[in-house]
A = this chain, B = another copy of it.
Amino acid sequence: MANRAAPLRLTSANAKPAGRPTRNGKARREDADREVGLDALAGHAGYAVRRFQIWIFQDFIKTLAAVDIRPTQYSVMTVIGANPGLSQMAVAKRLGIERARLVHLLDGLERRKLVKRVQSPSDRRCHALYLTAQGETSLRQFKRLAAEHERHVAEKIGKENRERLLHILSCFT
């Protein structure tokens, strides 16, 4: 019921809702400086996961900013590096992205000489995907930075919680 009085404080920000003790005497009621209560969202997994996903992606992007690699690009290179010769369809299905989207991703990676498309001899519709020599050495550096990012995650939610989370979500690969 009266979860309205439920106080809580934002991590960083300060809410200034409708009315608060300004100079015009009409000061707020006692609910003046209540923080925004939304226990209402507490039991929703999707909300927590969304916020966490935003945080984790921002940290990934920031940690890999020096090499200008985004999460999706990293996942594409990782899959190709582990499975050279894969077709675009195979990579797209594996990562759950559309082949149309993968085209642009590969365009960018190929432009940077990290990945190459090779015409498959057995099926002339397919492009076999490989990392270039530069792509392989670069990927090793990306993986070091990604490992640093994972340490940030462990610092944020706890080392054991991170492993628990990986275990819980292992069915999503």
Binding site for B on A (CB under 8 A): 3-4, 6, 8, 10, 12-20, 22, 24, 26, 36-57, 60, 71, 75, 78-79, 81-87, 89-91, 93-94, 96, 118, 120-123, 126-129, 146, 149-150, 153, 156-158, 161-162, 164-166, 168-173
User: Most chain-B Cβ atoms within 10 A of its Cβ — which of A47, A60, A89, A158?
Assistant: A47
User: Could you say how many copies of this chain the assembly holds?
Assistant: 2
Given contacts A15-B89, A36-B86, A90-B15, contact A51 B96 (CB under 8 A): yes
Given A96-B51, A150-B44, answer yes or no on A123-B16 (Cβ-Cβ < 8 Å).
yes
Which residues of B lie under 8 Å from residue A149 when comparing CB positions?
46
Residues of B within 8 A of A44 (CB): 146, 150
Structural contact, A164 and B173, CB atoms closer than 8 A? no
The verdict on A122 contacting B83 (CB below 8 Å), with A48-B173, A168-B164, A169-B157 known, is no
Beta-carbon contact of B87 and A17 below 8 Å: yes
CB neighbours (8 Å) of A84 from chain B are: 3-4, 6
A162 to chain B, nearest CB (A): 6
Please judge, given known A-B contacts A19-B85, A36-B83, A78-B40, whether A94 and B46 are in contact too, CB under 8 Å: no
Complex: chain B residue closest to A167, CB-CB:
B161
